[in-house]
Amino acid sequence: MKKLILIAVGLFFTLSVSAQIETPVKWSYAAKRISATEAVVAIRANIDAGWHIYSQHVKDGGPVATEFTFPASKSYTLVGTTNEPKPVTKFEPTFKMDVSYFENSVVFQQRIKLKTAGATVVKGKVEYMTCNDHKCLPPDDVEFSIPVGK
């Protein structure tokens, strides 16, 4: 009977460990006014060791590029496109091509022009793909809401 209980407990722990979802990327957000009518929102990805996310600029046939979507707003308009720092670019055998990616952490920045004088909230979504040397996780979407003070 003790053996049966030990086997059941062992199976329970094995199944619960294998069912855990991997989340190697943690997102954080900030905003800073740069004038009375403009601000910059910063979208930071903290990436676990050994993992990486891809640049916004990936060639066809490669991994899913990081993509930011901002719905239309009455409070602000986007100025240009979302900026990113210089990525690492290396050949990845999985995709049989050079790909650009970020390790450890990366901060993407989007400039906005404010239409109102008061505080506003910048809403959007980031789609990204995470890989390490052994596997890639399915692309993920994360919605965000970033307050921009007065």
User: How many domains, the chain?
Assistant: 1
SS3 73: coil
Task: Summarize pLDDT for 115-136 with one digit per residue, the tens.
Answer: 987 889 999 999 999 999 899 9
Q: pTM for the full model?
A: 0.84
Contacts of 149 (CB under 8 A, 6+ apart): 31, 33, 119
Task: Let me know: does 30 contact 110? Beta carbons within 8 Å.
Answer: no
Sign of CA dihedral 40, 46, 50, 54: negative
Residue 4 lies in a domain: no
Please report whether residue 62 resides in a domain: yes
Give the residue numbers spanning the domain of 125.
Answer: 25-148
In a domain, 6, yes or no: no
pLDDT score of 14: 37
* pLDDT tens for each residue of 8-21: 333 333 334 445 68
**In-domain check, residue 20:** no
Q: How many residues does the chain have?
A: 150
Residue 27's closest CA among 16, 43, 11?
43
**CB contact at 8 A, 94 and 43:** no
Intervals of the chain under pLDDT 70 = 1-20
Q: Is residue 17 situated within a structural domain?
A: no
Q: Residue 85 maps to which CATH number?
A: 2.60.40
30 inside domain = yes
